[in-house]
Amino acid sequence: MVPSALRRLPARPLLRRALSALTRVDPAAVLTDADVERFSKDGAIVLRGVFQPWVEHLRAGAELNLANPGPLCDEHAAAQGTSGRFHDDQFLWRRHELFKEFVLHSGAGALAAKAMGSQTAHIFYDQLFVKEPGTPSPTPWHNDTSYWHTRGSQICSIWIALDPVPRERGLSYVKGSHRWGLVHRITNFSGGDHSGKNTYSDVDPAQLPPVPDVDAGVASGAYELLGWDMQPGDLLLFYSAMMHGAPGNPPNSPHRRRGYATRWCGDDVTFDNRPGTMHTGWKRAGFDNGLAAGAPIACELHPNCAATA
Ligand SMILES: O=C(O)CCC(=O)C(=O)O
């Protein structure tokens, strides 16, 4: 049976026209100087309703991807042998016209650039997370910097809620952790050091510090958590160095938990060719940036979207 969201998805030329009619987000209208200051100080903020007009389209795209995942897709609950579904896929914008429109023309890049004080916002990749009700799999505490083959401070994500997400089921952040300068030992969200597609085993984990015990830090008062109730179209803006995690989606949840994230690199970001990052799996799946170690991140795989009309 065709999901109703797909039945609502227009054919390709119509889709283009429908999407280009959506207003491009104007950062000056949705991000105040006070927001930028708080983003710099705390490392994560919420903005309300910014991509509300996109929600139905992004939901339809999510259904397409759930039915036809890409080469880097992980199904974490299945890999862990636990119930429910925790779908995690990357580079949707390279395979689906809808997500390409969003990345290139929604204004998300311009928003990220303004937030980071950067002239440019290069799309690093996009990612879909779906936790169906009855999925106990948590999103483990981590920072994204540890997974990514990037160096620099102007690296952030925009995570858009496609369903209502109460704070207790959403992402939480350790306030100010973007200033820790931490590159930690990493695991695939399925639990091991690789998933077959996303491999991190090309580095000796003993060389890296473990993820700090966030729950103990919160209990002792050393860490303060940030988190928000979200409605569809609200977004989380956070630096890649922010320590974050989320619980599962329990069986009694009235909502799915679909989130669409875009990852953005600013002016100071270069390619860090160190082992143990996502670069290994990406290359294998055909997402090689072709850059020399230390080169600016600008390339065909990571175009600048800060000013795309
Ligand atoms: O949505 C999730 O559970 C994971 C999100 C996440 O870790 C991220 O966007 O960096």
Is 292 a member of any domain? no
Q: Judge contact between 176 and 43, C-beta under 8 A.
A: yes
Is 85 a member of any domain? yes
> pLDDT value at position 7?
46
> pLDDT value at position 308?
54
> pLDDT value at position 146?
96
Is 301 a member of any domain? no
CA of 14 to the centre of ligand 1 (A): 31
With the most atoms of ligand 1 within 8 angstroms of its CB, the residue from 76, 89, 127, 264 to mutate is: 127
> pLDDT value at position 141?
97
> pLDDT value at position 160?
98
Q: Judge contact between 53 and 160, C-beta under 8 A.
A: no
Residue in 126, 65, 130 with CA at minimum distance from that of residue 90? 126
Q: Which residues line ligand 1 (CB under 6 A)?
A: 129, 139, 144, 157, 159, 171, 244, 246, 259, 261
Q: Which amino acid is at 221?
A: G
Is 226 a member of any domain? yes
SS3 237: strand
Is 308 a member of any domain? no
Domain count for the chain = 1
> pLDDT value at position 195?
67
Complete DSSP assignment for 55-114: HHHHHHHHHHHHHS--TT-EEHHHHHT-SS-EEEEE-GGGT-HHHHHHHHHSSHHHHHHH
The phi, psi pair for 215, rounded to 5°, reads -60, -40
Is 104 a member of any domain? yes
Q: Give CA–CA dist 212/22, Å, rounded.
A: 42
Q: Which two tokens stand for residue 158?
A: 């925009």
Domain coverage including residue 33: 4-284
Q: Which two tokens stand for residue 94?
A: 């390279």
Is 307 a member of any domain? no
CATH number, residue 174: 2.60.120.620
Is 289 a member of any domain? no
**Positions in the chain whose pLDDT score sits under 70:** 1-13, 193-195, 199, 308-309
- DSSP code of residue 296: B
Strand partners, 260: 128, 160
